[in-house]
């Protein structure tokens, strides 16, 4: 069946084309007046204004975001050449800014959804393997065409493409995605980040197996680690811990409630610093650990999971950040440094800052902001889609 011959038209309500005129890549279901044809989820639809003028085309999906825009050009076909062009642009950008083809680094994000004009698609590169993740029905349906285009663009750079979308697709769509290799099949999963080695668990790990987005912040932490006693709270794969070790920390304690995360952390420390007794890892709940720990730490990292996955959960999330940070402010040694993060998209920079400020005030400590951190350049923010800015961090000096 050739779907390309089918034409589906989405007509917007009057005035609802304004955000598309500013190249925002989403159409909300409430903006739609009527639909011509019966597209299935994941098929490409053309979007028209109430004046019946073409404005964009994209993947159709049932839900609050009804269309994810792929192109604003009526003449641009969504075919194999389209995917290749978009992936090539993403790769060229990363090469031109020195992230791809880096002598000490082969861990980076090649495609960051809206940030690369490919809403619903994420591709992370781990050495010779690309891990591809679909967050929309459209990207799921196109996965083989995208994988072919990816293999062409990355020819000679990668051997394997692993597809990992079991937990990222809406389940109402009845897509039943299965995780597995679309190309190759190597299980060699050690990748390099700025000269440090990491086991990447793309088979079972969270996200695509690693939190690529903290790379630059981990590198910054390394510069502050010398001689310090470090607590890496919510350590997952131990990324910050490994950098702290290389930075010359006196001791590094990694904590995560997941026993699997603690195994991964121990493996990654052993891979880089075998038999180094400065490191210990504990499987324990963050709040319990912070409550019972003493005041031995003078460098603390708080990188919790997204507390607010949806807007309704915002209040609880802000309370969570406040509670967590109060504990760190209360216990950190005088002259200590706190790296504190939020990766919740629903919490903006100001809200996160306010939660951390409130926590600081509650502890009564004197606190200065040293750095304001965000996501790295391989997780670019589409300027027309400010929601894409999700990672927020503060580095604080606590007197
Ligand atoms: N800092 C990590 C990423 C952290 S992801 C990195 O740089 O890669 C968040 C982690 O928090 C997950 O590993 C999850 O297992 C852990 N976690 C979730 N709830 C927790 C809790 N209540 N206490 C401790 N760890 C928790």
Each residue's pLDDT expressed in tens, for the chain with a length of 399 residues = 445 557 899 999 999 999 999 999 999 999 999 999 999 999 999 999 999 999 999 999 999 999 999 999 999 999 999 999 999 999 999 999 999 999 999 999 999 999 999 999 999 999 999 999 999 999 999 999 999 999 999 999 999 999 999 888 876 667 778 899 999 998 889 999 999 999 998 888 888 889 999 999 999 999 999 999 999 999 999 999 999 999 999 999 999 999 999 999 999 999 999 999 999 999 999 999 999 999 999 999 999 998 876 767 888 899 999 999 999 999 999 999 999 999 998 899 999 999 999 999 999 999 999 999 999 999 999 999 999 999 999 999 999
Q: Report yes or no: 307 and 342 within 8 Å, Cβ to Cβ.
A: yes
Atom of ligand 1 nearest to the CA of 232: 1
Ligand 1 probe mutation, 236, 238, 242, 343, most atoms within 8 A of CB? 236
8 Å CB contact between 390 and 345? yes
Q: 78-82: long-range contacts (C-beta < 8 A, 24 or more apart)?
A: 78/44, 79/4, 80/145, 80/148, 80/149
CA of 304 to the centre of ligand 1 (A): 5
285 lines ligand 1 (CB under 6 A): yes
* Main-chain phi, psi angles of 389, to 5 degrees: -85, 105
Tell whether ligand 1 has an atom less than 6 A from the beta carbon of residue 339: no
Ligand 1 atom with the shortest distance to the CA of 211:
8
CA atoms 248, 253, 258, 264: torsion sign: positive
Atom 15 of ligand 1: nearest residue by CA position: 258
Strand pairing partners for 192? Answer: 197
| Structure token pair of residue 327 | 């504990």
Structure tokens at 137: 């029905």
Q: For residues 370 and 337, is the Cβ–Cβ distance under 8 A?
A: yes
320 lines ligand 1 (CB under 6 A): no
Ligand 1 centroid from CA 285, angstroms = 9
Q: Is the CB of 214 under 6 A from ligand 1?
A: yes
Give the HSE-up count for residue 273: Cα atoms under 13 Å, Cβ half-sphere. 20
> What's the confidence (pLDDT) of residue 209?
87
Contact 57, 10 (CB under 8 A): no
How many angstroms separate the CA atoms of 132 and 150, rounded?
A: 10
Q: What pLDDT sits at residue 2? A: 47
β-strand 367-373 against 392-398: which pairing, if any? antiparallel
């Amino acid at each position: 069946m050739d779907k390309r011959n089918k034409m589906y038209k989405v007509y917007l309500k009057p005035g609802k084309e304004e955000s598309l005129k500013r190249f925002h890549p989403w159409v909300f279901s409430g903006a739609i007046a009527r639909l011509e044809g019966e597209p299935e989820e994941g098929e490409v639809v053309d979007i028209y204004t109430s004046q019946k003028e073409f404005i964009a085309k994209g993947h159709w999906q049932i839900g609050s975001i009804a269309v994810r825009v792929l192109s604003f050009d009526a003449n641009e076909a969504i075919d194999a050449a389209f995917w290749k062009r978009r992936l090539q642009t993403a790769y060229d950008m990363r090469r031109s800014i020195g992230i791809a083809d880096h002598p000490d680094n082969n861990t980076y994000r090649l495609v960051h959804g809206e940030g690369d004009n490919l809403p619903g698609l994420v591709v992370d590169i781990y050495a010779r393997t690309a891990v591809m993740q679909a967050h929309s029905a459209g990207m799921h349906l196109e996965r083989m065409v995208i994988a072919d285009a990816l293999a062409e663009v990355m020819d000679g750079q990668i051997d394997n493409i692993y597809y990992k979308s079991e937990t990222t697709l809406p389940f109402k769509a009845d897509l039943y995605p299965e995780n597995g290799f679309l190309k190759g099949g190597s299980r060699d999963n050690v990748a390099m980040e700025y000269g440090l080695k990491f086991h990447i668990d793309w088979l079972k790990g969270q996200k695509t197996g690693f939190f690529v987005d903290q790379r630059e912040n981990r590198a910054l932490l390394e510069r502050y680690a010398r001689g310090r006693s470090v607590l890496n709270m919510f350590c997952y794969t131990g990324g910050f811990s490994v950098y702290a070790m290389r930075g010359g920390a006196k001791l590094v304690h990694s904590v995560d409630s997941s026993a699997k995360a603690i195994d991964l952390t121990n493996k990654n420390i052993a891979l880089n610093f075998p038999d180094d007794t400065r490191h210990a890892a504990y499987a324990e709940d963050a709040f319990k650990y912070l409550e019972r720990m003493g005041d031995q730490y003078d460098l603390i990292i708080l990188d919790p999971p997204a507390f607010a996955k949806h807007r309704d959960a915002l209040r609880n999330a802000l309370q969570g950040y406040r509670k967590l940070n109060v504990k760190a402010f209360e216990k950190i040694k005088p002259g200590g440094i706190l790296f504190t993060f939020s990766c919740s998209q629903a919490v903006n920079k100001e809200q996160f800052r306010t939660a951390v400020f409130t926590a600081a005030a509650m502890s009564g400590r004197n606190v200065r902001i040293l750095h304001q951190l965000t996501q790295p350049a391989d997780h670019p923010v589409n300027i027309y889609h400010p929601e894409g800015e999700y990672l927020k961090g503060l580095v604080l000096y606590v007197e």
